[in-house]
Amino acid sequence: MRNRSASAIAAAAVAAGFLACKRPSAVGSIPAGRSLYHANGCAACHGLAGRGDGPAARGAVVRPRDFSNRRDFRFGHTLEDIVRTLKTGIPASGMPTYSYLTSDERGDLAVFIVSLADSAKAERNP
């Protein structure tokens, strides 16, 4: 039996390692994402708390996304989707491309964006 549980632990460790490689959350850091959010001017459009209400949102033809509800995301709301959106930008909307950031930086930003949605959700359903 000892062998069996040891191999189960080994399998879990392999799975965890696999996930760690696959998912940006494993490398993403919320504090780093928050700094990047401010350093790259995201708040000007998306607002300090990510509610889509930054000063540059006023009068914008396409409203910057409110990050408080991930179901409202138009281009996918998984970490991978957000990383991709940051890399490509959204043509003709005002949402710039952040292809000049490293993929780790885009991962940090994505983890931060998801954390905004998760904390807004927790506020709605305490």
Q: How far apart are CA 52 and CA 84, in angstroms?
A: 20
Residues in contact with 64: Cβ distance below 8 Å, sequence separation at least 6, in sequence order: 45, 46, 47, 52, 54, 56, 57, 94, 95
* Per-position x/- string for 81-100, each x denoting binding to ligand HEC as judged by CB under 6 A, each - no binding: -x--xx---x--xxxx-x--
* Per-position x/- string for 104-123, each x denoting binding to ligand HEC as judged by CB under 6 A, each - no binding: -----x---x----------
- Residue 31 tokens read as 């504090």
74 counts as binding ligand HEC under rule CB under 6 A:
yes
Tokens 């993403």 identify what position?
A: 28
| Minimal distance, residue 86 CB to ligand HEC, in Å | 6
In the complex, which residues of this chain contact ligand HEC (CB under 6 A)?
37, 40-42, 44-46, 56, 60, 62, 64-65, 73-75, 82, 85-86, 90, 93-96, 98, 109, 113
